[in-house]
Structure 1
Amino acid sequence: MCYVELHACSAFSFLRGGSFPEQLAEVAAELKMPAMALLDRNGVYGAQRFSVAAREHGVRPIIGCELSMEDGSILPVLVANRTGYKNLCELLTQAHLRSEKGECAVGWDELAQFAKGLVVLLGSTEGRARLLIDAFGRENVFVELQRHFIRGEERINRELIDLARANRLSLLATNGVQYAKPYGREVLDVFTCIREHTHLDAAGKLLTQNAERHLKSDREMRELFRDLPEAIENTSRLAERLTFSLENLGYEFPEYPVPAGHTMDSFVRTIVWFGAQQRYAAISAKVKRQIEEELALITKLGFPGYFLIVWDIVNFCREHNIMVQGRGSAANSAVCYCLGITPVDPVESHLVFERFLNESRKGWPDIDLDLPSGDRREAVIQEIYRRYGKHGAAMTANVISYRGRSAAREIGKALNFPPSIIDRFSHLFASGDFPHTLELESQIEQAGLPKNHPRMPAFIRLYHAIYGLPRHLGQHSGGMIICRNKLSSFVPLENASMPGRVVAQWDKDDCEDLGIVKVDLLGLGMMSVMQDALELCRQRGRPLDLAHIPKDDPATFDIMQHADTIGVFQIESRAQMATLPRMKPECFYDV
């Protein structure tokens, strides 16, 4: 049986791992590992990316997590089945939501409540063995051994072996992986300096002592543990027990509560035809045919509940005098027009419905709702939290990565460069819409760092290694995910830096890959201006709404053709203003 690495963390442990999850999966495949476990610190941030990459490379992904305990120790846990994954997500959610953003501490007395379906790795001799055996069961506690050629390590391992024999526990060999290949140690040292607010010249014993925490082959690990072959064999035996996959997540979109005597299919049909009577003075055969075709496809694909929930959000906005409208390809749908989600008649404008929804589409429809920025948008977000509960709705995450400026500044600080050089280097980066075209070596030299500087090669090497790695977790500008049951059963939730906001640990792409439905609630300053303008029109006796603004006004198109569009949303960027005089839009379809 081949060795399986059951304790590895990625850069999604945020400053505690030096490789992308995808890199770990790729190297595991190169080493012919049949399976591998990813255990990031206090979350499953990189689990979906790792799972996809591992399956593509023929490696079976195993999910787990390193838990930060209340006494400062770290407890690695592995997920065995769906129940274990649910328990891990709820345990992490509970620990995160009672703490400030970026903080998490699990109580030892909490473990028993969430232990079912989890396997724990015991890597210290500090008297927790009996507690873990009572909470998880003897067969689910493994004593973890690591060998990194560090002084004093073998004494700890002998104590752990004695502990395992005294408590009849199985031994498990791992390498405590923190980077895919040995060169990742340099990245980890820079991350340690960032985390500890120091630089490499002063970090001393904070840094790792060698570069042994990389993925190792079956042969290398067997050689390391040649005196304990059972510790190697137990890795594959345990891996066979860990059968959970994110592919069987079990997520369900919320059902919309419909009136008695209706199904969601019949109710969406009823309100669409009611809306059509409001929108159209007379429903033509063409409009009727379009609506019937769209409703048939929506029913066939099982999406009525999604349209009803978006319609319900729009109704809440209207009832509370909050201007709202759908954006993007949703405007191609006559059903969205009749539900009041969009103000554009797609039949009159000859828009193609299939761009919005068709049978070959994978995943859910994507309806983005534009709202006035500020308090009015926040009121809508808080209403969704109120309806679905703190554990039933969350903002999607936005992973903030190291880019040119941030990577250079952090590496410069770690290498103890003078602040003046770091500042000059940062100021040479492009800004605004302009692409960055300066070569890295040329940029460094212009910043005042000569080519023959002894730390120049290290700077360039580290810059390329760190660029793109996760820096911290932010929140998406408007993406919200909701769930039929507790969302915290499928993905851990944590507090955002903004009060009253809860964020899921996955970004919008991870959620889409797993079939988790996202509703975008986007705040626009221009919507605030428009709402105030329409209110003024109403007060002056000329009431107007977006659906009835003329779409063939020559003066409006003349302004566009002359690129006089500063302050006009979506056509005010440099690129758009340069394109408009050449395109010369003359009708709504041109826009």
Structure 2
Amino acid sequence: MYLNCHTYYSLRYGTIKPEQLLAIASENGLQTLALTDINSTSACLDFVRLSSKYKIKSVLGIDFRNGVQQQFILIAKNNNGFKNINDYLSKFLHDSELEIPEIAPQLEDVFVIYPYIHKKTYQLREHEFLGIKPKDLNHLKFSKWNTLRNKLVVLKTVSFQNKKDFNTHRLLRAIDNNTLLSKLAKSEQGQETDRMLPYQELCDTYNEFPELLKNTASILEKCQIDFDFSHENPNNQRCYTHNEALDFRLLKKLTYDGIHYRYKNPGERIFKRIEKELSIIEQKGFVSYFLINWKILKYARSKNYFYVGRGSGANSIVAYLLRITDVDPVELDLYFERFINVFRQNPPDFDLDFSWKDRDDITDFIFNRFKNTALIAVYNTFKFKASVRELGKVFGLPKSEMDMLTRGKYHINQLDNLSQLVIKYSTYIQGFPNYLGIHAGGIIISEKPIHYYGATFMPPKGYATTQFDMVVAEDIGLYKFDILSQRGLGKIKEATEIVAYNHPEKPPIDIHNIQRFKQDARIKYLLKNAKAIGCFYVESPAMRMLMRKLQVDSYLGLVAASSVIRPGVAKSGMMREYILRHRDPDRRKDAPKVLLDLMPETFGVMVYQEDVIKVAHYFGGLTLGEADMLRRGMSGKFRSRDEFMKVKQQFFDNCKKSGKPDDLVEDIWRQIESFAGYAFAKGHSASYAVESYQSLFLKAYFPLEYMVATINNFGGFYSTELYVHEARMDGGIIEAPCINTSFTQTVIHGKTIYLGFMFLQSLESKTIKRIVKERQTHGDFSSLDDFIERIPISIEQISILIKINAFRFTGNNKRELLWEAHLKISKHVAQEQVVTLFKTERIHYKTPELPSTALENAFDEIELLGFPLCNPFHLLEKRSVNPLRAKDLQSLEGKTVTIEGYLITAKNTKTTSGKIMHFGNFLDRDGDFVDTVHFPPVAARFPFRGKGIYSITGKVMIEFDCVTIEVSSMEHLAVIEDPRYKSPSPKSPSREEEDFQDGMMPRGRLKSKRSHIYTVASDR
């Protein structure tokens, strides 16, 4: 009897979860229920999937509204009607300027219900009805429609469960309208009575109008929606060539054609593996999935795009031969059953990474090449802190009070009434969907039109996007293609291009010659000594320390390290155990024999996702299907699903039956549970390791060119400043942007690196384009006058260039140039220059001598670049006399020391008891790393106070050759007063200026490889 029910996917309006709506309906004795969210189909598929659990027949429709103004409700008679409704709704979701009209369209297999408005005229067609709300019943008695009851139905809206829900609804409406709750208009709210009544009570409400009840029941009876959630029939595009047999012949041909590219002397093992895989791929109906991925990457190669194929798909030799992945599963003995097994229902998983510069073109290709294509949505939900701020605004709280509440610095009983309400309802709406976003890279390519499953919306990205997420998509048999982007590939590609222009004498780099890289001595040195700043996946502080502890210098060692570093392995305590067993072969004997037999390569430690399947299958007695369900359940997708809990129980039951010791079973389950959701598939780690080796090769042989590419691609784990520092450590001469030499991006000439204009804060892109274009067309600029003559520019924009010393080629001091610019450029907005036959004669003003100092230059650089191009230690207020350096710490184990460090990055984490602690990374005066640990008491007493230099006191700890300082106290050292704002003085240079100049080396000369490595930005 309910034709108009909302869940909380009626965004910032409804308050009921989809399953909760079904539970309420079941409690109220309903057997059929229509879900009609407002302009949304997000809940539809899940609603149908869950309805059988509550023995309720599900009906689907949409409540079409402009804002909160209800226009009509469309109810689908069947799946075709649902598709037609989705087609119609999507028109409005793709074009925000369109308004939903008052008159509904005539769609096949669709019922229309208009909300009854007193005295309004309706011309109803056969499939259209008027919905009568309980409040309309008295009007109806005196209306002409009382004699036309065959066109009337019950319209009892359901949006809330109780009074608290209605209060929450009002708050959501205030948030949506960005207004105070006290100013929320009645017209922007639903009715408090929009709740579900028990079936009999609803019938009693309409007992004077039995025809309405009969008509409503008739509509619901005629509706039948059916979706298959069995996972037996994937709904992805079924055929690549429009013929399944032809598809398989093509896949087989491509696979065998790829042997000569990958193997020089393929043996029987290779051919057996190929036949086994092809048989299972055909049997499971995954042929088109492989061919579509192959087609995408064939296009990428035709455009010379770099890519990495990873995920569990890297466990497949067919994927390797089709060049979807670059990992040899035979060489690494990858466990194919992690990828596909006969029990697996969902298709295998490929993650395809492209450069961030290339991904959009790949996405364009997919949408143009394949018919039924869409991006997948994500539900961006209300988080607690954001909810506090939103509700704080709704209640009119001052910002200071909202800050206090978000930090948790309060006792609930000491808060006033409004603040308590904010906390109460912030907790309540936490997890409610707020708006729809786009999945990081998920694309679905379906056999049927996308609108068969739901409506699509059009985000700014410009591609149709589903209203449901990846979990719902998988439920219905739509398995995503992951088209992802990363900056690491952009760095590698650009680095090869930079090497080509900076070293034209060198032969082209074959960056895909991984076999050669695996044996390279320089790469082994960088890995073993953790000198991999800028290199993909191995540059972070945690990975840098792990590499030192493991002393990894091989490909297989790096593959294992890539997965060992994941949170779950560390959480279970097995990362430390892995390190111990890696370094001490005798300790491997302590591992349970059953685990050592299953995982000899990793010394009996579960490191990869395959290990979970192996242990669950061989130790826990689960089938491969059950083991894979366990692995998927651990990933978080199905953590709350009943089937996962059944598999967990089966694991314990099987172990008990086979007589395995309880303590061993508990320990192994603890390991599985603690990290399975975080660990990588071995093939996934191997794919990452391939990219790491490519970046390590460039770092080993072309460090400056690689750092330039890293800077241009906005780095990796660290900020631009550290990569500039790393280039300097490798012998690079760092120059600030120059009008005659620099481009938008950073460039290198020999060993001299000119930072790009794009790194100058507030310098407009149109200004940069004008400078580069004019210089390339008409040559270098000869003077400031020449520049002003040729480039239309405002005084604000030219001031940025002068302050960074971009006109240093003129030989004039920048303070003098600033005076000239102010005198010669008007304050009004610069217009495009008009080319004239004769040049305008400019007046040359006599400016006073206004020298700028190296210290002033450093502060200009901090303002414009975000960091100085000098050694930051020279900006300290008090001269540093501390001689201790990072290289000295190795001999000071157990001693308490004080060392000064320039903060690079700090990681905040929590102990098992929930207390905050930190891991810090600093540079010493010579530019070497100092790693610190800040336990909770110290973290609370000596917090980080932003960027700068700290005096760090603590005990030197050495574990597995890794040096850290266990901090006991820390002081943020003061820097000198900004000299640009001091009154000019005719006196001799200050002490700070003398220190600054004395500590510098002339540009391009290094006193030693690791000392006094910085130069003055403007010291020429």
Q: Aligning the two structures, in what range does the TM-score lie when normalised by the shorter sequence? A: 0.7 to 0.9
**How far apart in 2 are the matches of 1:50 and 1:471?**
19
1:143 aligns with 2:130: yes
Q: Provide, for residues 43-81 of structure 1, a one-character-per-residue CA deviation record: whole Å limited to 9, x for no partner.
A: 311112222232222222211101236996421111111
**How far apart in 1 are the matches of 2:278 and 2:59?**
41
- 2:297 is aligned to 314
* Helix, strand or coil at the partner of 1:501: coil
2:399 corresponds to which of 399, 419, 423 = 419
- 1:523 is aligned to 485
1:87 aligns with 2:70: no
- 2:152 is aligned to 171
1:543 aligns with 2:509: yes
Q: In structure 1, what residue type is equivalent to 2:487?
A: G
Contact 1:164 1:170 in 2 (8 A): no
**How far apart in 2 are the matches of 1:81 and 1:578?**
59
- 1:434 is aligned to none
1:451 aligns with 2:414: yes
- 2:122 is aligned to 129
1:256 aligns with 2:240: yes
Contact 2:374 2:466 in 1 (8 A): yes
> CA 1:360 to 1:209, structure 2 compared with 1: closer, same or farther past 3 Å?
closer
Contact 2:38 2:63 in 1 (8 A): yes
- 1:105 is aligned to 99
In the TM superposition, residue 490 of structure 1 has moved relative to its aligned partner by 3.4
- 1:238 is aligned to 219
Contact 1:253 1:517 in 2 (8 A): no
In the TM superposition, residue 216 of structure 1 has moved relative to its aligned partner by 1.8
* Helix, strand or coil at the partner of 2:345: coil
Contact 1:272 1:335 in 2 (8 A): yes
1:118 corresponds to which of 104, 110, 113 = 110
1:511 aligns with 2:491: no
- 2:494 is aligned to 532
Q: Provide, for residues 403-443 of structure 1, a one-character-per-residue CA deviation record: whole Å limited to 9, x for no partner.
A: 122211111112221122123434x2xxxxxxxxxxxxxx1
- 2:338 is aligned to 355
**How far apart in 1 are the matches of 2:291 and 2:305?**
19
Q: Provide, for residues 180-232 of structure 1, a one-character-per-residue CA deviation record: whole Å limited to 9, x for no partner.
A: 34421011010111122212222253565863212221133133223234433
In the TM superposition, residue 349 of structure 1 has moved relative to its aligned partner by 0.9
> CA 1:13 to 1:547, structure 2 compared with 1: closer, same or farther past 3 Å?
farther
Q: In structure 2, what residue type is equivalent to 1:283?
A: P
Q: In structure 1, what residue type is equivalent to 2:47?
A: F
1:381 corresponds to which of 342, 354, 363 = 363
**How far apart in 2 are the matches of 1:29 and 1:6?**
16
Say what the alpha-carbon RMSD is for the aligned residues: 3.0
Q: In structure 2, what residue type is equivalent to 1:301?
A: K
> CA 1:72 to 1:345, structure 2 compared with 1: closer, same or farther past 3 Å?
same
Q: Provide, for residues 90-144 of structure 1, a one-character-per-residue CA deviation record: whole Å limited to 9, x for no partner.
A: 11223322x13xx6533467712xx2111111212475632x41xxx2xx33321
1:372 aligns with 2:355: yes
Contact 2:70 2:115 in 1 (8 A): no
* Helix, strand or coil at the partner of 1:247: coil
* Helix, strand or coil at the partner of 1:191: helix
**How far apart in 2 are the matches of 1:257 and 1:527?**
31
Q: In structure 1, what residue type is equivalent to 2:425?
A: L
In the TM superposition, residue 452 of structure 1 has moved relative to its aligned partner by 4.2
- 2:8 is aligned to 11
2:176 corresponds to which of 195, 206, 219 = 195
- 1:461 is aligned to 424
Q: In structure 2, what residue type is equivalent to 1:506?
A: F
Q: In structure 2, what residue type is equivalent to 1:228?
A: F
Contact 2:458 2:465 in 1 (8 A): yes
**How far apart in 1 are the matches of 2:477 and 2:519?**
40
**Which structure has the larger Rg?**
2
* Helix, strand or coil at the partner of 2:224: coil
**How far apart in 1 are the matches of 2:524 and 2:405?**
44
- Comparing 76-85 with 578-587, greater Cα deviation is found at 578-587
- Comparing 528-537 with 275-284, greater Cα deviation is found at 528-537
> CA 1:251 to 1:301, structure 2 compared with 1: closer, same or farther past 3 Å?
closer
Q: Provide, for residues 322-353 of structure 1, a one-character-per-residue CA deviation record: whole Å limited to 9, x for no partner.
A: 11121111111101100001111010011111
- 1:431 is aligned to none
> CA 1:562 to 1:80, structure 2 compared with 1: closer, same or farther past 3 Å?
farther
In the TM superposition, residue 155 of structure 1 has moved relative to its aligned partner by 4.8
**How far apart in 1 are the matches of 2:399 and 2:507?**
61
- 1:437 is aligned to none
What stretches of structure 2 of length at least 5 have no aligned partner? 562-1020
List aligned pairs for 1:570-581, cutoff 5 A. 570=537
**How far apart in 2 are the matches of 1:569 and 1:29?**
53
In the TM superposition, residue 317 of structure 1 has moved relative to its aligned partner by 0.5
Q: In structure 1, what residue type is equivalent to 2:431?
A: G
> CA 1:84 to 1:121, structure 2 compared with 1: closer, same or farther past 3 Å?
same
1:275 aligns with 2:237: no
Contact 1:182 1:212 in 2 (8 A): no
Contact 1:181 1:215 in 2 (8 A): no
In the TM superposition, residue 85 of structure 1 has moved relative to its aligned partner by 1.2
In the TM superposition, residue 560 of structure 1 has moved relative to its aligned partner by 5.3
* Helix, strand or coil at the partner of 2:9: helix
Contact 1:324 1:372 in 2 (8 A): yes
Contact 1:182 1:214 in 2 (8 A): no
* Helix, strand or coil at the partner of 1:119: strand
1:68 corresponds to which of 56, 65, 69 = 65
**How far apart in 2 are the matches of 1:220 and 1:564?**
74
Contact 1:291 1:335 in 2 (8 A): yes
- 1:590 is aligned to 560
Give me the TM-score of the superposition, normalised by structure 2.
0.50
Give me the TM-score of the superposition, normalised by structure 1.
0.85
In the TM superposition, residue 29 of structure 1 has moved relative to its aligned partner by 2.2
What stretches of structure 1 of length at least 5 have no aligned partner? 429-442
Q: In structure 1, what residue type is equivalent to 2:122?
A: A
**How far apart in 2 are the matches of 1:71 and 1:455?**
27
Contact 1:69 1:108 in 2 (8 A): no
Contact 1:15 1:195 in 2 (8 A): yes
* Helix, strand or coil at the partner of 2:560: coil
> CA 1:223 to 1:535, structure 2 compared with 1: closer, same or farther past 3 Å?
same
Identity %: 23
* Helix, strand or coil at the partner of 1:281: coil
**How far apart in 1 are the matches of 2:28 and 2:525?**
64
In the TM superposition, residue 584 of structure 1 has moved relative to its aligned partner by 5.6
Contact 1:397 1:507 in 2 (8 A): yes
- Comparing 238-247 with 515-524, greater Cα deviation is found at 238-247
In the TM superposition, residue 169 of structure 1 has moved relative to its aligned partner by 2.8
Q: Provide, for residues 376-409 of structure 1, a one-character-per-residue CA deviation record: whole Å limited to 9, x for no partner.
A: 11111111222235xx322111111001222111
In the TM superposition, residue 527 of structure 1 has moved relative to its aligned partner by 1.0
Contact 1:96 1:105 in 2 (8 A): no
